Chains A and B, each alone.
Chain A
Amino acid sequence: MITRFGQSLVDLSRGTRDLWQVYVSTLAGIIRRGRRPRGELARQMFAIGNRSLVFIIVTLGFIGMVMTYEACLQLSTVTGDFSQLGMQFIRLVVSDFGPTLTALMLATRVGAGIAAEIGSMKVTEQVDALRMSGVLPIDYLIVPRFLASIIMTLVLSVIGGTVMYLAGGLTAKYSFGVNPNLFFDLELLRLRHVGLFVVKALAYGAAIPIVAGFCGLRARGSSEGVGWATTAAVIGGSFAVIILDFVLSAAALFVFGGDL
């Protein structure tokens, strides 16, 4: 039992070290402008951004509706005062829910796709063939996805957050008769909330392809290995988003204190 526990710790520390190496190698790949297929960045931006658009709009729209409905329900049974509802909601959407929920959705759709693609290449020896061709797999496979994910997570977070806010406003109006002028009030929104939004979106956008690429590159065997990599990428990516959310929110709270 102790041996197994020790082995698990060793495996965990090795995994963490390898994940860190993938991250550092990706940054190094960006700096040295390593070899990657022509037009690959645009292709990846399309795959990550455009192909996730409907998914993000639908899921964040519904989440916005549910959250507002629940908030209105609670308020109506306690105070019946909806004056702060929209102001608080946009503050939450911008500083947390917009980028975080968008990233959680992307961790499933994009993370699984990246891990499956790279994992398939790994088990069919295409990654080895890249190395034989003098191409570093990180430069070729992960760097374009990393850059595309950073850009498109930010864009999708803006779209997702906007949809969430609008859906919440419509739900408040048609379910509880909340005046839209009252709901769509940005009085409590500050530049620091927008700053936190951007930082979170960029951090999530960076984490998802790194975790997914790492899982893909660790795929072994055959289709079973690809399946494992895909599952691990979804779990790891979601986990990374939640941990980053906690760390960045705590850091913001530390910097801005009660003003956040």
Chain B
Amino acid sequence: MSGYVEWKAVHKSFNGRAVLRGMNLAVQKGEVLFIIGTSGVGKSVTIKLLLGLLRADAGEIWFDGQRVDQLPERALAGLRRRIGMVFQSSTLFDSMTLAENVALPLRRHQGLSHTKAVAEARERLGAVFMAEHADRFPAELSDGMRKRAAIARTLALGPDVVLFDEPTTGLDPVSARRIDQLIRSLATTGITPIVVSHDPPSIFGVADRVAFIYQGVVHTLATPAELEASADPVVQQFIQGRSAGPMETPGF
């Protein structure tokens, strides 16, 4: 079955070190897919390849029936309107207020005037309960608040797919669960969230399916329940967070 988003036999190396080695993965429309794996295994690389922020060495990447891995930079603007990304760090621009941060893609992608874009941005910030902070600068806010503002910026363009790169890393448990709720609620509105995560409560509380990347390929693709019940010792070592076991972790 072909997917709404699909990676086909994708390879990617950095300085001669192979990170992805023929990875295949298909994501269906409207599902919440979590990508998990050890640090440096290529989870963030996988989602950045979809957006053209990195280029694959070989293989194909498809989105909604269109091959996207060979699109030139200019053509990627259209793709980036439909696929948003929330980065690991909030990536808000320090010199702009939250409203201006959220307004930037609205001005650029939708051609709105500064005034209209900022007004629209305030509404978007309201949707993540950040309206009262619209005129503050990122440096004045907590990590969780910055993360929510970054999500508002990503959602401002009404994307079909939202990629989250470790959205709950560094957040307190309460803020993390609120982000989880937000991700889950996106799926109910027809958006397809693809989440890179290390956070077990997020993985087992939010995901419809989980792709476990190991040694450059999708080692296991399963529902959270199936993953928990898996007899695979590598999977068990990872989800139980044991240091001893069969898993090879380069650098350790």
Please indicate the chain A residues that have their CB under 8 angstroms from the CB of B104 in the complex: 133, 135
B108 contacts A128, CB within 8 Å? no
**Interface contact A126-B91, CB-CB below 8 Å:** yes
Whether A124 and B89, one on each chain, are in contact in the complex, defined by CB atoms closer than 8 angstroms, is yes
Pair A125/B77 contact, Cβ less than 8 Å: no
Cα-based distance from A134 to B85 in the complex (angstroms): 12
B53 CB–A CB distance under 8 Å:
yes
Contact of A131 among B53, B81, B89, B92 (CB under 8 A): B53
Asked if A35 is at the interface (CB within 8 A of a chain B CB), the reply is yes
A128 close to B109 (CB less than 8 A): no
Q: Does B66 contact A (CB under 8 A)?
A: no
Contact between B84 and A132 (Cβ–Cβ < 8 Å)? Answer: yes
Q: Does A80 contact B (CB under 8 A)?
A: no
Instruction: Evaluate contact between A134 and B89: CB separation under 8 angstroms.
Output: no
B89 near A128 (CB under 8 angstroms)?
no
**Interface residues as binary, B128-163 with A (CB distance below 8 Å gives 1, 0 otherwise):** 000000000000000000000000011000000000
Given known pairs A124-B89, A124-B91, A125-B88, the reply for A133 and B53 (CB within 8 Å) is: no
Q: Decide if B89 touches A132 in the complex (CB within 8 Å).
A: no
Whether B53 pairs with A134 at a CB distance below 8 angstroms is: no
Complex contacts, B76 vs chain A, CB 8 Å: 131
- How far does the Cβ of B80 sit from chain A's closest Cβ, in whole Å? 5
- Min CB distance, A8 to chain B, in Å? 14
CB of B91 within 8 A of CB of A134, answer no
Q: How many residues of A contact B (CB 8 A)?
A: 15
Docked-complex contact A37 and B109, CB < 8 angstroms: no
How many A-B pairs have beta carbons closer than 8 Å: the answer is 47
Q: Write the nearest CB–CB distance from B188 to chain A, whole angstroms.
A: 24
A129 CB–B CB distance under 8 Å: yes
Known: A37-B95, A124-B89. A133 touches B108 (CB 8 A): yes
Tell me the complex Cα distance, A126–B153, Å.
13
Q: How far is the CB of B94 from chain A (nearest CB, A)?
A: 9
Residue in B closest to A133 when the chains form the complex, CB atoms: B105
**Binary contact readout B15-35 vs A (1 if CB under 8 angstroms, 0 otherwise):** 000000000000000000000
Bound form: Cα–Cα A134–B159 in Å: 14
Q: In the complex, A82 Cα to B32 Cα: how many Å?
A: 83
Report chain B residues within 8 Å CB of A131: 53, 76, 80
- Neighbouring B residues of A135 by C-beta, 8 Å: 104, 108
Chain B residues lying within 8 Å of A38, measured Cβ to Cβ, are 114
B80 lies within 8 A of A134 (CB): yes
Complex: how many Å from CA A133 to CA B105?
4
Kindly provide the distance from the CB of B52 to the nearest chain A CB, expressed in whole angstroms.
8
Query: When each residue 65-92 of chain B gets 1 if its CB lies under 8 Å from chain A and 0 otherwise, what string results?
Result: 0000000010011001100110111011
Contact with B along A132-169 (1 / 0, CB 8 A): 11111000000000000000000000000000000000
- Bound state CA distance, A191 and B73, in angstroms? 46
Q: Is the beta-carbon distance between A132 and B88 smaller than 8 angstroms? A: no
Taking CB atoms, residues of chain A closer than 8 Å to B88 are 125
- Cβ contacts under 8 Å, A125 to chain B: 87-89, 91
In the complex, are the beta carbons of A35 and B108 less than 8 A apart? Answer: yes
A132 and B85 within 8 A (CB):
yes
Encode contact with B along A230-249: 1 for CB under 8 Å, 0 otherwise.
00000000000000000000
A37-B95, A134-B105 as given contacts; A128 in contact with B84, CB under 8 Å: no
Q: A134-B77, A134-B80 are in contact. Are A128 and B91 (CB under 8 A)?
A: yes
Enumerate chain A residues within 8 angstroms of B55, measured Cβ to Cβ. Answer: none
Name the CB-closest residue of A to B54: A128
Residue pair A134, B87 in contact (C-beta under 8 Å)? no
A129 to B91: give the CA distance in the assembly, Å. Answer: 6
Are A132 and B95 neighbours in the complex by a CB distance under 8 Å?
Answer: no
In the complex, what's the smallest C-beta–C-beta distance from B194 to chain A, in angstroms?
Answer: 15
* Closest Cβ–Cβ distance, residue A145 to chain B (whole Å): 14
Answer yes or no: B93 CB below 8 A from chain A CBs.
yes
Q: Which of A35, A126, A128, A136 contacts B93 (CB under 8 A)?
A: A126
CB distance from A121 to the nearest CB of B (A): 9
Report if B51 contacts A (CB, 8 A): yes
Residue from the set A125, A130, A134 with the largest chain B CB neighbour count within 10 Å: A134
Considering the complex, give the chain B residue whose CB is closest to the CB of A43.
Answer: B95
Residues of B within 8 A of A130 (CB): 93
**CB under 8 Å from chain A, chain B span 178-194:** none
Q: Is B53 within 8 A of A128, CB to CB?
A: yes
* B48: Cβ under 8 A from any A Cβ: yes
Q: Residue of A at shortest CB range from B77?
A: A134
**B186-242 residues at the A interface, CB under 8 angstroms:** none
Residues of A within 8 A of B (CB): 35, 37-38, 124-126, 128-136
Cβ contacts A to B, 5 pairs, < 8 Å: A124-B91, A132-B51, A132-B53, A132-B85, A136-B73
